Amino acid sequence: MSAENVADFDLVIVGAGLAGAALALAVADLPLKVALVEAQAVREGWPPIDESVFDYDARVSALTEASRSFLEGVGAWSDIASRRACAYTDMDVWDGEGTGRIHFAASEVKRAALGHIVENRLINASLINNLRENGRVKCYFGTPVDTMSRHQGLISLQLAGGKIVRSPVVVAADGANSKVRDWAGFVTREWDYHHHAIVATVETERPHGKTAWQRFLPEGPLAFLPLPDNADEQRYCSIVWSVKPEIAEQLMLLDDDDFCRELGAKFEHRLGAVVACSRRFSFPLRQRHAADYVCDGVVLLGDAAHTIHPLAGQGINLGFQDAMVLAEECRRACDRGLALSDTAVLSRYQRRRKGGNLAMMAMMEGFQHLFETPAMPLRLLRNTGMRWLDSALPLKRQIIAKAMGLSDKPQ
């Protein structure tokens, strides 16, 4: 291999999705040589922001206050907030099979909002634009990593086109089907939810009231997440509809009018009729968790370490917390003159992140089973429990704080 074809770094991040790009920005100002490698071409500037069901990104994230504050800390939030984000003030959750209902309000915890719904492409554009402006991270875009090998304490990644990047530490932020994770031999525990999530943007007859709506059905949860619009008519929502794969297949085959009718009925017409719908996408849902996050200089981040049911919208929120903690550990190592590959540095990251991620995944699994079970005693328990919880303000405050990624103490 010729010397000009090889580049050496202190840290290489594979994957410029939300988690990888956020980590790159969070470590950009450290005294480290960092590279970010992304398989896909990455557009320059901002995505167009028009207003119709066809122009919103079908992939959105419900960002917690903890994630918003992390994005603010790395300088990526103000650009997002000034373009398009919906601060939602309320959340309405109800049992599709009974009378149980819980309403959460930001006012109950003396906050202006419970969180923000933001299109993924906007978050990504803000992270990448800030990285480009900063200029300290070497970006290789449109160049997938093809192979990985190890030699004398360095991990070598061969990129499409022949370039080789080497580093003692490689972060796998290459998503749920991470190749870097598999090449490094990490063990994962995974299982199929037997659910597919259909996502789309819809227009509704009545305004969403800056409320995130979720109906739990035995076949899976259905969420309507409020989207922002300039005139504040509040008619656009992003939907996440989890159903069995065979039902998803049928729903995907419906024409738009029939799909809107089915969707409106399943949502009990809480926002009136569903009047229009964008192109739909369907994702199979698998839960996956790596037994370890660190192995011989390779570190797992975001969906490469854990994928979780989208019912509580926590996936990228966990990924941003991973990025924040890993960046903190890199900073700590630099301050103390430690090499990033020092086992103590990376194992601190694993220790700080694994327990919390596992707990959130277990909670989501519990929720899914609770609402999937049609047996009468559980249905009664669910409905009585939800009604009781709705009136138990101190406990509700703790749940809201947890869901916002804040401390358990009421605000």
- Distance separating alpha carbons of residues 301 and 181, to the nearest angstrom: 10
Asked if 60 contacts 120 with a C-beta cutoff of 8 angstroms, the reply is yes
Least spacing, CB of residue 338 vs ligand FAD, in Å = 26
Q: Which helix (H) or strand (E) holds 66?
A: helix 65-73
Strands (E), 67-128: 86-88, 90-95, 101-105, 115-119
3-state class (DSSP) for residue 338: coil
Least spacing, CB of residue 303 vs ligand FAD, in Å = 4
Closer residue to ligand FAD (CB): 174 or 382: 174
Closer residue to ligand FAD (CB): 66 or 334: 66
Closer residue to ligand FAD (CB): 160 or 380: 160
Cβ-closest residue to ligand FAD? 17
Give residues in contact with ligand FAD (CB under 6 A): 14-20, 37-40, 61-62, 144-145, 173-175, 179, 197, 199, 240, 283, 302-303, 310, 313-317, 319
Least spacing, CB of residue 153 vs ligand FAD, in Å = 22
3-state class (DSSP) for residue 165: strand
3-state class (DSSP) for residue 303: helix
Q: Supply angle C-alpha 269, 275, 276, rounded to 5.
A: 125
Least spacing, CB of residue 377 vs ligand FAD, in Å = 31
Least spacing, CB of residue 196 vs ligand FAD, in Å = 9
- Distance separating alpha carbons of residues 259 and 254, to the nearest angstrom: 6
Residue carrying structure tokens 């299109």? 119
Closer residue to ligand FAD (CB): 61 or 234: 61
Closer residue to ligand FAD (CB): 204 or 307: 307
Residue 304 identity: A
Least spacing, CB of residue 376 vs ligand FAD, in Å = 31
Closer residue to ligand FAD (CB): 40 or 407: 40
Nearest partner of 131 among 139, 141, 123, judged by Cα: 139
